Chains A and B, each alone.
Chain A
Amino acid sequence: GAVVSQHPSRVICKSGTSVKIECRSLDFQATTMFWYRQFPKKSLMLMATSNEGSKATYEQGVEKDKFLINHASLTLSTLTVTSAHPEDSSFYICSARAHGAISYEQYFGPGTRLTVT
């Protein structure tokens, strides 16, 4: 149980285009989903927290108009990188937390490797 999927696992896009990454909780309802970004040889950095049915809360320094997050249902959150640039190339990881779960009970997706050319 408690499986989180991400789609796509890998995407290459051209500079200036937008790309959408999906995060799904497959066997539980996730009231909260988190989006992380991981730079090579660096830590996971929390980008934003999304709660189902409400606006995402972005961390300091993360452009909300650049990284659009939608959490429209209890099993799906999407991250759209708008007008992507090469510096947006990174590994994006989502995690999901079930309703009523304790803070640390986050289940992680496998990640999406974004390459902007």
Chain B
Amino acid sequence: AQRVTQPEKLLSVFKGAPVELKCNYSYSGSPELFWYVQYSRQRLQLLLRHISRESIKGFTADLNKGETSFHLKKPFAQEEDSAMYYCALSGPGDKLIFGTGTRLQVFP
């Protein structure tokens, strides 16, 4: 079965500290993985996708098929990074399967 697991509900760091939001997936096939972000009082929006191998707002994520992981990383967190982050997998029929989300709090 396809599944996305985000083990941390809350991650709190101080400004300037490194951040890693964990995501593990279960999928039989070649997955497409994404990170979505939801800032306070805003709608869900796409942050980045693994196939583009891009860095958005300083965040990167590498797909590790051996560990079935797609952790989101940023070397120096900023206060404006505080938000809810969802890892997602594109499954059959192009449906998105979401993890439960991790709330990132960056303290000044």
Q: Using CB atoms and an 8 Å cutoff, list the residues of chain A in contact with chain B.
A: 4, 34, 41-46, 49, 57, 93, 95, 103-106, 108-111
Contact = CB atoms under 8 A, between A and B. Distances in A.
Contacts of A42: 100
Contacts of A45: 98
Interface string B24-50: 000000001010000000111110010
Contacts of A49: 93, 95
A104 B86 contact: no
A51 to B, nearest CB: 11
Nearest to B9: A41
Interface of B: 4, 9, 32, 34, 42-46, 49, 86, 90, 93-101
Q: Taking chain A's interface residues, is the majority helix, strand, or loop, or is none over half, making it mixed?
A: strand
Nearest to B4: A43
Contacts of A108: 43-45
